[in-house]
A and B are shown apart, each in its own frame.
Chain A
Amino acid sequence: MLDILASGLVIGSAYASLGLCITLLSRMGGVVNFAQTAIGLFGSYVFLVLCENQMPASLAAVSGILISGAVGAFSGYIMYRWFDDADVTTRSSVAIAMMIGYLSIGTRIFGDSPRQAPSLFDNTGFSLGSVNIGGGLIVSLIASVLLASALHYFINKTHTGIRLQAFAAKPTTAELIGIPSDRLTMLIWSLAGAMSALAMLIIMTSSARNANYASLSLLIIPALCAALIGSFNGFYLTLAGGLLLGIIESATLSSSLLAPYAQAIYLPVIVIILLWTKRKEKWDGQRG
């Protein structure tokens, strides 16, 4: 049981940190950003390439995060420049197009030759049950919790956060009352890009995943599922959702009967969440 919990946290912290980036952009940018992992991967692969070329890991990590921040800002610019007044569906469709574009470019640039990510947090960690929890995973867990708290505080308690929410809800109105929407859009996309690069970087250096560009980009599915648990709105719920998904996946994998369906668990989870969150609408509809 302890093993399932521990290895579930290992997997779940990755889902949670990426889910938080999606929730951030959903609340502040008014878009479900399907391109989030693809943007983060750009920076994390730059990190790998720089490390292979003998750059110190910390400097390479900063460079990678900045690159993803720049790619995020560029995506934000596209979104602002051409899809400022579009509805969420159109913007999210644009995000899907971006995801496909970034994946094609990324695979073309970085290829599919094997890359071994250097360990950023050696000689740290502890054992929980028979599971070794590495230093990177502790950092990942702590980073996810800190990120959730910081984002929650920033959005709900600071003046800028409230202005950003106003902008996300009604971009044109926000612009009319003097909120600089172009810069804010780019800033928020850039921030989400940098955060997702950091998350991908921790995943690549600390977890035992297939470090292939295309397969890592599929982390968008559990990340979206985690954000859905938080209704694309709540940071703490997204964090809890990510960790819960990790634990469910780990429990499924530990049972030989259920293991073949481990990657299909998102579907029932999504259905249950949607049924639960929409239950009031159902009753309201009945009453109407």
Chain B
Amino acid sequence: MKNVKRSLLKAVRLSAAIGMSSLAINSMAAPEPIKIGGLATLSGAMTLPESPEAARAVFDRVNTEGGIQGRKIEYIVQDDKGEAGATAQAGRELVDSQGVVAFAGSASLQDCAVNSNLYNRRGVLSLPGVAGEFSCYSKKAFAPVSVGPAGGTLASLYYASEVLKKDRVCAFLLGIPSHAAGNKWAVKQYRAMTDKNLALLDTTVLPNDDMTPHVLRAKSTGCDAIVFSGAEQMDLAWLKAMQMQGITDVTTIFMTPAYTSGFAEASKNYPGEVYANSEYEPFLSDSAVLNDWRGLMKNAGQPLSSFGQGGYISATLLVEALKRIEGPITRDSVTKALRASTGADALTNPMLGNPLDVAADVDHSATSATKFVKLVDGDWKVVTPDFLRINTK
């Protein structure tokens, strides 16, 4: 009997000890991570992995340094597969199932068109690293850090006529449907700002075109400068057509996709004057403001690119907004902190020409700040030490 009693006592003590220790384990468990979403095209014909990878590097560093309010950041990236259906599914998964507090480093061509209503209903904001289409700049749930093709086109047209003082400016703009609204907007704003008309506007350039007929139109129009918006390989084909048709004396201005070391190397023997627009502090330059980004990308084993700059800036600005929150970090408090980042409190990064104002009524296409680089002996040289600021208001 005594033995039975002793055994019972032992069992009670043991279970009490187990209970205590599990309580202790619970109280020592790591706090819930802050979930941040990213939506990017990671598979399909054209992939955009650079922006979310750069954002991940920023969040990893924040976690190594102890997180925010002692909480780690969990960065969840979903693939939109370049399809509207997958984009909607990924958006719902991140917002409703994962419960992300905000989006950063997104690089999706459909996100703004497909998920805008969902983000509005759930009160979640996104700071895309690469804004896929023109509507991203006017939809309330999005505050893109990139200038985008429409803003780049307007800046390039302005640069051609007002800075380079070219009289007959021609524009050859990518004719894919998602660019139509942006093209129209850029040309309209250019006319309003300069009171000048383009010598030729061609919005029919498609990725698979032989560029010869387009270049012949430029030749017969007698353009002094050509603004061409297309992907990197299209830009190379354009220069080749200009060379073949003997109009290398015409100045050419490309958008950000041409600003790569590969493009500069591939066109080092081109005899004409070539410029490119850079959405941020030109990443191939030796500017000191690039040091942190460059070092971080090197440590993370990521290539240097303009898309990578977008992802880095987006993540850095979101971290800055998270650090401003004094109470608990929830979706509501993050949205509130981002919305309060306006005017003098707008989020800043030295690689960005303009601070990012995330107030609900801001039209992100209204202002832009970009730099221009010029092709010199197979290398890009910065020709605008200060950002060229465009204000359409």
A interface residues with partner B (beta carbon < 8 Å): 3, 7, 10-11, 14, 112-116, 130-132, 134, 207-212, 214-215, 218-219, 249-250, 253-254, 256, 259-260, 262-263
Contact of B236 among A116, A134, A259, A260 (CB under 8 A): A116
Quick check: which of B80-88, B95-103, B156-164, B260-268 contacts chain A, the rest being far away?
B260-268
Q: Is B206 an interface residue (CB 8 A)?
A: yes
Q: Which residues of B contact A132 (CB under 8 A)?
A: 244-246
Contact B45 A214 (CB under 8 A): yes
Q: Which of B215, B230, B267 contacts A208 (CB 8 A)?
A: B215
Shortest C-beta distance, B176 to chain A (Å), equals: 10
Residue of A nearest to B180 (CB): A260
Q: Does B220 contact A (CB under 8 A)?
A: yes
> Given the interface contacts A114-B266, A260-B175, does A208 sit within 8 Å of B231 by beta carbon?
no
* B298 touches A (CB below 8 Å): no
Contact A130 B244 (CB under 8 A): no
Asked whether B210 is an interface residue with its Cβ less than 8 Å from the other chain, the reply is: yes
Q: Are B219 and A130 in contact (CB under 8 A)?
A: yes
The reply to whether the CB of B27 lies closer than 8 angstroms to some CB of chain A is no
- Interface 1/0 per residue, B137-157 and A, CB below 8 Å: 000000000000000000000
Q: What is the chain B residue whose CB lies nearest that of A203?
A: B210
Q: Which residue of the partner chain A has the closest CB to B220?
A: A130
Q: Produce 1/0 per residue, B207-243, CB < 8 A to A.
A: 1111111111101100000000011111011101100
Cα-based distance from A211 to B241 in the complex (angstroms): 13
In the complex, what distance in Å separates the CA atom of A210 from the CA atom of B207? 7
Q: A115-B266, A218-B208 are in contact. List 5 more A-B contacts (CB 8 A).
A: A207-B210, A208-B211, A256-B202, A260-B204, A262-B204
Are B210 and A10 closer than 8 Å at their CB atoms? Answer: yes
Residues of B within 8 A of A (CB): 45, 175, 202-204, 206-217, 219-220, 230-234, 236-238, 240-241, 244-246, 260, 262-263, 266-267
Closest to A252 in B: B213
Q: Is the CB of B212 within 8 A of A259?
A: no
With A130-B216, A214-B45, A253-B209 already in contact, the answer to whether A208 and B241 are too (CB < 8 A) is yes
With A114-B233, A114-B263, A211-B233 as contacts: A10 and B212 at CB distance below 8 Å:
yes
For the complex of A and B, list the 3 residue pairs with the smallest distance between their C-beta atoms, beginning with the closest. A208-B241, A116-B266, A259-B204
Decide: A263 and B206 in contact? CB cutoff 8 A.
Answer: yes
Q: Which residue of A lies closest to B266 (CB)?
A: A116
A259: chain B residues at CB < 8 Å are 202, 204
Q: How far is the CB of B324 from chain A (nearest CB, A)?
A: 40
Name the one of B208, B211, B238 contacting A215, with C-beta atoms under 8 angstroms: B208
Interface of B is mostly: helix
13 contacts between A and B (CB under 8 A): A3-B216, A10-B210, A116-B267, A208-B241, A209-B211, A210-B208, A210-B236, A212-B233, A215-B233, A253-B213, A254-B217, A256-B202, A260-B203
* Residue of B whose beta carbon sits closest to that of A219: B208
Tell me the smallest distance from the CB of B69 to a CB of chain A, in Å: 41
A113 nearest CB across to chain B (Å): 5
Instruction: Let me know if A11 and B210 touch, CB within 8 A.
Output: yes
Q: Interface SS of chain A: helix, strand, loop or mixed? A: mixed
Could you tell me the distance between the alpha carbons of A131 and B202 in the complex, rounded to whole angstroms? 19
State in angstroms the CA–CA spacing of A253 and B245 once bound together.
17
Q: Which residues of B contact A262 (CB under 8 A)?
A: 204, 206, 209
Q: How far is A260 from B217 in the complex, measured between Cα atoms in Å?
A: 15
Which of chain B's residues have a CB closer than 8 A to the CB of A210?
A: 207-209, 230-231, 233-234, 236-237
B244 neighbours in A (Cβ, 8 Å): 132, 134, 208
Chain A residues near B246: list those with CB within 8 A: 132
CB distance from A14 to the nearest CB of B (A): 8
Which chain A residues lie closer than 8 Å to B213 at the CB level? Answer: 7, 11, 249-250, 253-254
* CB <8 Å contact, B212 and A113: no
Bound-complex Cα distance A208 to B238 (A)? 7
Bound Cα distance A214, B240 (Å): 19
Residues on A with beta carbons closer than 8 Å to the beta carbon of B216: 3, 7, 130-131, 254
A100 nearest CB across to chain B (Å): 12
Check if A114 sits within 8 Å of B260, measured CB to CB.
yes
User: Once the chains are docked, how many angstroms separate the CA of A148 from the CA of B3?
Assistant: 105
The CA-CA distance from A214 to B267 in the complex, in Å, is: 21
Whole-angstrom distance from the CB of A144 to the nearest CB of chain B?
15
Question: What is the bound-complex CA distance between A210 and B206, given in angstroms?
Answer: 10
Cβ contacts under 8 Å, A116 to chain B: 236, 240, 266-267
Tell me how far the C-beta of A165 lies from the nearest C-beta in chain B, rounded to whole angstroms: 34
Closest A residue to B241 using CB positions: A208
Q: Which residues of B contact A115 (CB under 8 A)?
A: 266
Q: Given A130-B220, A253-B214, do A114 and B236 touch, yes or no (CB 8 Å)? A: yes
- Is there contact, CB below 8 Å, between A209 and B237? yes
CB pair B206–A208 under 8 Å, yes or no, is no
Shortest C-beta distance, B337 to chain A (Å), equals 38
Cα–Cα distance between A229 and B234 once the two chains are bound (Å)? 29
Complex Cα spacing A229 to B260, Å? 42
Contacting residue for B210 out of A113, A209, A212, A256, CB 8 A:
A209
Q: Is the CB of B245 within 8 A of A131?
A: yes
CB-defined contacts of B207 to chain A, threshold 8 Å: 210, 212, 215
- Shortest beta-carbon distance from B319 to chain A in Å: 31
Min CB gap B372→A, angstroms: 20
Complex CA gap A262/B205 in Å reads 10
Q: Which residue of A lies closest to B201 (CB)?
A: A256
**Residues of chain B lying within 8 A (CB to CB) of residue A112:** 233
Q: How far is the CA of A215 from the CA of B206 in the complex (A)?
A: 10
Name the residue in B219, B233, B234, B241 with the highest tally of chain A Cβ atoms < 10 Å from its Cβ: B233
Chain B residue at minimal CB-CB distance from A133? B244
User: A7-B213, A209-B210, A250-B213 given as contacts; is B262 within 8 A of A114 (CB)?
Assistant: yes
Chain A nearest CB from B222 CB (Å) reads 11
